Amino acid sequence: MAVSRDERISTRKRNDKWRNMPLRIEMSECINCDACLRHCPPNFGAIFNHGADVIIIPELCSGCDKCLPACPVDCIYPDPDWQPTTDLEDWWTLPNSADDPY
């Protein structure tokens, strides 16, 4: 079980004890205000600017929902179909880089 943010980054696994599903941002609705990013607790640090998009790395997202009330356009949704994937490999260059806001 990956407990700390650094452990979740290194193993690329969610904490097995998290009951809430990760969240996702619907970019066709997002206005790129970064309010969600500012409200994501640093111990999760799941939300990043990725080019023109704002993304949530599911393995870092506890589903705490702190970003939901911050979003002025309600474009953040639970992601019930999420499965671990390697398709988003470039997302993992963001944590602990110069582009990491946490």
Whether 95 is covered by a domain: the verdict is no
C-alpha dihedral, 32 to 60 to 63 to 36, nearest 10°: -20
Burial classification of residue 52, based on how many CB atoms lie within 10 Å of its CB (0-12 exposed, 13-18 middle, 19 or more buried):
exposed
Whether 14 is covered by a domain: the verdict is yes
User: pLDDT tens digits, residue range 21-53?
Assistant: 999 999 999 999 999 999 999 999 999 999 999
Whether 86 is covered by a domain: the verdict is no
Whether 73 is covered by a domain: the verdict is yes
For the chain, what is the mean pLDDT?
93
User: pLDDT tens digits, residue range 9-28?
Assistant: 999 999 999 999 999 999 99
pLDDT of the residue at 85: 73
- Range of the structural domain that residue 37 is part of: 1-81
**Domain count of the fold of the chain:** 1
CATH number for the domain that contains residue 13: 3.30.70.20
Query: Of 81 and 38, which is predicted with more confidence?
Result: 38
Whether 88 is covered by a domain: the verdict is no
Whether 38 is covered by a domain: the verdict is yes
Whether 45 is covered by a domain: the verdict is yes
Whether 52 is covered by a domain: the verdict is yes
